Amino acid sequence: MNILDLSNHLQTYLVIGAVLFGIGFYGLLQRQTLIGMLISAELILSGASVNFMAFNRFLAPDPTVGQIFTLFIMAIAAAEAAIALSIVLAVYRNYKTIDAMEITDLKG
Amino acid sequence: MHPVINSAEGLAGVVFLVTLLTTAAGALIATTAVRTIRAVAGLALCFIGVAGIYYFLQSPFVALMEMLIYVGAVCVVLVFAVMLAEPHPEKQVGNINPLGGPLGLGVGALLAWALIALGRQTVWTAAPTRLNDGSMPELGHALLTTYSMVFELVSVVLLVAIIGALVLGRAGRSKA
């Protein structure tokens, strides 16, 4: 496989989607602040979207379905970001911190 | 097909490699930067790379939407959140997350490796015929006929999200 011909292979896109998912998962576990976790969640969603688009381009019988699914993922991600950030701001107003390890009012 | 580097296909291949590198580097910055604002910048870089990947996947419309929605809206909203709720940017406190560090890295690497191995080993078979070419007119047609119900539902979801964000942002403030 020629390295300049990578964009014509399904596996390339599957690999970059899996890499995005893995990095996002690592960030989700490792981050301490709520905003950092949200950023990592966006990376995970991007990995899934890349997979959908790759299968749509190479395998799907109807090549509009994957694009439409990706557009819906984007809309849901935008809604999720808006809601999550207003929750973060509400948490910050009540606790004066967005560190996930310090918000422990319900901890047994 | 073996494109050489000084042909149009070879140049497109180089651009594709740059796109892949941009995506991976942006994702790494987004997860490892100490300051949150740098993580947001890395996220924007990663989304620009993902938009390039969509362009190579013959979907310029989705690439444009990626730039508009993610780079243009989500990242800006994140910057606002960082400005409003980031009191101590370089505070590294003692209570370290037990899942961070090597364990989280191992779990993430294991997941990525498993997915890559699965993707490479499976024999993917393409559909014998394609119904259309997946171009922008076909996309709009499908969005307003076959998927019109989902389209409307997503609009309702966005409306509820906007109202919910307003309510959450309003709660706890004084009535002044």
Inter-chain residue contact A5 with B2, CB threshold 8 Å: yes
Domain match, B5 and B78 both: yes
Q: How far apart are the first and last CA of chain B?
A: 69
Q: pLDDT of A33-86, one tens digit each?
A: 888 899 999 999 999 999 999 999 999 888 899 999 999 999 999 999 999 988
Q: Is A98 on the interface with B (CB under 8 A)?
A: yes
**Per-run averaged pLDDT (10 residues), chain B, 176 residues:** 76 91 94 89 95 93 93 91 72 59 86 91 86 87 92 94 89 63
Number of domains making up chain B: 2
pLDDT score recorded for residue B175: 60
Query: Residue A94, CB half-sphere, CA atoms under 13 Å: how many?
Result: 13
Domain match, B74 and B142 both: no
Residues of A in contact with B133 (CB under 8 A): 63
Q: Other C-beta atoms within 10 Å of B126: how many? A: 12
Residues 6+ away with beta carbon under 8 Å from A105:
none
CA distance B152 to B168: 24
Domain assignment present for residue A102? The answer is: no
Domain residues for B84? 1-88
Cα angle at A45 between A48 and B41, to 5 degrees?
125
In the listed set B32, B62, B88, which residue is the last one of a domain according to the structure? Answer: B88
Q: Is A88 on the interface with B (CB under 8 A)?
A: yes
Tell me the sheet residues that pair with A99. Answer: A33
Of B122, B18, B15, the residue nearest A51 (C-alpha): B122
Which CATH number do you get for residue B48?
1.20.120.1200
CA distance B128 to A59: 9
Inter-chain residue contact B69 with A74, CB threshold 8 Å: yes
pLDDT score recorded for residue B92: 56
pLDDT score recorded for residue B1: 59
Phi, psi (rounded to 5 degrees) for A99: -80, 125
Domain residues for A87? 9-95
Of B25, B104, B40, the residue nearest A30 (C-alpha): B104
- The residue ranking higher by pLDDT, B13 or A104, is B13
Which CATH number do you get for residue A59?
1.10.287.3510
Mutate to test the interface with B, among A2, A7, A12 (most CBs of B within 10 A): A7
In the listed set B88, B107, B142, which residue is the last one of a domain according to the structure? Answer: B88
pLDDT of A7 strictly over 60: yes
In the listed set B72, B88, B104, which residue is the last one of a domain according to the structure? Answer: B88
